Structure 1
Amino acid sequence: MNLSVSLGLWQDRPAEEALLTARAADELGYPTLWVGEMATYDAFALATAIGLATARIGLTVGPLAVAVRDPMMIAMGAASVASLTGRQVDVAVGTSSPTVVESWHGRSRARSATALRETVQVLRPLLDGDRSGFTGACVSSTGYRLRLPAPRSRLAVAAFGPSAVRTAASADRMVLNLVTPASAARLTARLRAVNPDVPVTAWVTAAADPDREAVDRVRRAVVGYLPAPGYGEMFAEAGFGDVVAFARTRPHPRDLLAAVPDELVASVSLLGDPRAQLAAYAAAGVDEVAVVPVGTDRDPGGAATLASLAAR
């Protein structure tokens, strides 16, 4: 199994730790860095800064929300980063969450599955330098061609539901986030039933020597998924049905956080010795684990975690 790195972009850590994580990943020889977008840096701006601050690591920008960024914006952004840094720049897209799309951006997530499928259709020729010429139900772009050299980016799709998995089957890679090995196995099997040649990456949070700060940071990241359709059932299957049932009563976030056991956090993370969990993801058919290192006061940027995993 291959290992890459994904930036954590933890909202309760200094934003500039992203560059610390990137430099550590580059120096340790990880081949690829996934550069997402949350509440701090613009993803393309951050990817450019990383490319200029590191020596060789490849960059994958995203997943970018298809209801927020249109295909021309994504293609232009990828070509810009590639031109300014000289790196291979790949792209990931997804539907993102209601909080990001509807609350932060004021956009609609209606027909998001269609928008995801159509975005993939439009992006492929644009990233290869061809002129756009597509009009769909949700997405369209006609008459645009990159002025910069075409990045010829590989295209990844973040998937969880059946429709997104089918769209991922037409892309270059499927990406899974916050999934147990059992859930990864089901999603990978669905993908391979449609297209057996598409590889699968799972983003998995990691802390090599987890202290209470690290575990609690992952716990806070997990709680928002517990009541969500699909994710709640996944955690229930893993043996945490009581926690899911409690989450769906809409308790105060403080009370829900306190109800999440460490064992639930560990079911979707690499905490401590990663060998058994990595073997479980490999057995599930996952081709690559993108390690999301937990930054803490004891391990800023998760650099020590990355070093520990690289040594293994």
Structure 2
Amino acid sequence: MKLTVSLGLWQDRPPEEALMTARAADELGYPGLWVGEMATYDAFALATAIGAATARIPLTIGPLAVAVRDPMMIAMGAASVAALTGRPVGVALGTSSPVVVERWHGRPHAGSTRALSEAVDALRPLLDGVKSDHPRSQGYRLRLPAPHSELTVAAFGPAAVRIASRADRMVLNLITPASAARLVADLRAVTGATRVAAWVTAAADPDRSAIEQIRRAVVGYLAAPGYGEMFAEAGFGDIVEYARTRPHPRELLTAVPDKLIESVALLGDRAAIESRLAEYANAGVDEVALVPASTDHDPGGVRTLRALAPLGG
């Protein structure tokens, strides 16, 4: 199985650790780095800084929220990073959440699925340097060299999976192997050409701080439509029901068992993680993007990346 790296962008850690993770991924020979966007760095700015701080690792920028960034903006950003760094630059798209789109950006989240579909159609010619005739980017052509970016779509529900079938790659986040297998089957019912990646949080020989960091990241998904059902199917229906009563976040956090975290993460020694990776491979996942936990015990997740680098196929 192909192993790549995704920046954790952990809110409880110094933002500059993202560069530490990127340098480690590059030096350890990982074949790709995902540069997301959350509450700290602009993704294109961070990707450019990573290009200057590393030697050769290819970059995938995103997922970028299609209700916030239009196709022309995304194409210009990808071409800018490619031109300034000399790296292959892929683009990942997603619908993001109502909190990010509506509260942070003041844009409507309704219609994001349609915007995702339109962005895939509009970006194909733009990223290849063709003058656009799409209504969302009418008449624009890149002035920089075309990056010919690989397109990835973040998917979970049926509509997003269908849209992902028109992309080069579908990516799944916070997913159990059983749920991944179903989504891969849904995708394969439409096409066999689109590859499948999964972001999976990882901590090799974790201490309690790493477990707690991942627990905090998972807790917000427990009551979410689709995710709640996934966790219930994995045997945690009581926690999902409790989460949907809207308890205080601290109370919900303490109620989440380690086994629930383990259902969507790579934890333990190298042998345990290798066995877990095999479950994702058997589910039809072609690539796992390791999201390394970052703690005082393992700043930037460098120790985890070093431990798992030999497992990449």
Distance 2:9 2:103 in 1: 19
TM-score (norm 2): 0.98
5+ long unaligned stretches in structure 1? none
Matched, 1:231 2:230: no
Match of 1:5 in 2: 5
Distance 1:183 1:56 in 2: 34
Distance 1:191 1:47 in 2: 30
Match of 1:161 in 2: 157
Deviation at 1:102, TM superposition (A): 1.1
Distance 2:103 2:181 in 1: 32
Match of 2:182 in 1: 186
Deviation at 1:7, TM superposition (A): 0.2
Matching residue's letter, 1:279 = A
Deviation at 1:111, TM superposition (A): 1.3
Distance 1:133 1:223 in 2: 43
Match of 1:250 in 2: 246
Matched, 1:128 2:124: no
Match of 2:284 in 1: 285
Matching residue's letter, 1:234 = M
Deviation at 1:196, TM superposition (A): 0.9
Matching residue's letter, 2:77 = G
Matched, 1:208 2:204: yes
Give the alignment of 1:1-312 within 5 angstroms.
1-135=1-135, 140-272=136-268, 273-312=272-311
Deviation at 1:197, TM superposition (A): 1.3
SS at 1:134 equivalent: coil
Distance 1:216 1:298 in 2: 13
User: What whole-Å deviation, never above 9, does each CA across 1:79-114 have from its counterpart, x for those lacking one?
Assistant: 000000000000000000111111111111111111
Deviation at 1:251, TM superposition (A): 0.4
Distance 2:36 2:99 in 1: 16
SS at 1:141 equivalent: coil
SS at 2:291 equivalent: strand
Distance 1:263 1:250 in 2: 21
User: What whole-Å deviation, never above 9, does each CA across 1:109-133 have from its counterpart, x for those lacking one?
Assistant: 1111111000100000000001111
Distance 1:285 1:156 in 2: 17
Deviation at 1:265, TM superposition (A): 0.3
SS at 1:125 equivalent: helix
Distance 1:293 1:282 in 2: 19
- 4+ residue segments displaced more than 4 Å: none
User: What whole-Å deviation, never above 9, does each CA across 1:114-160 have from its counterpart, x for those lacking one?
Assistant: 1100010000000000111112xxxx110100000000000000000
User: What whole-Å deviation, never above 9, does each CA across 1:253-289 have from its counterpart, x for those lacking one?
Assistant: 0000001000000000001130221010000000000
Deviation at 1:48, TM superposition (A): 0.3
Distance 2:97 2:114 in 1: 16
5+ long unaligned stretches in structure 2? none
Distance 1:87 1:3 in 2: 19
Number of residue pairs matched by the alignment? 308
Deviation at 1:311, TM superposition (A): 3.0
Distance 2:141 2:15 in 1: 34
SS at 1:271 equivalent: strand
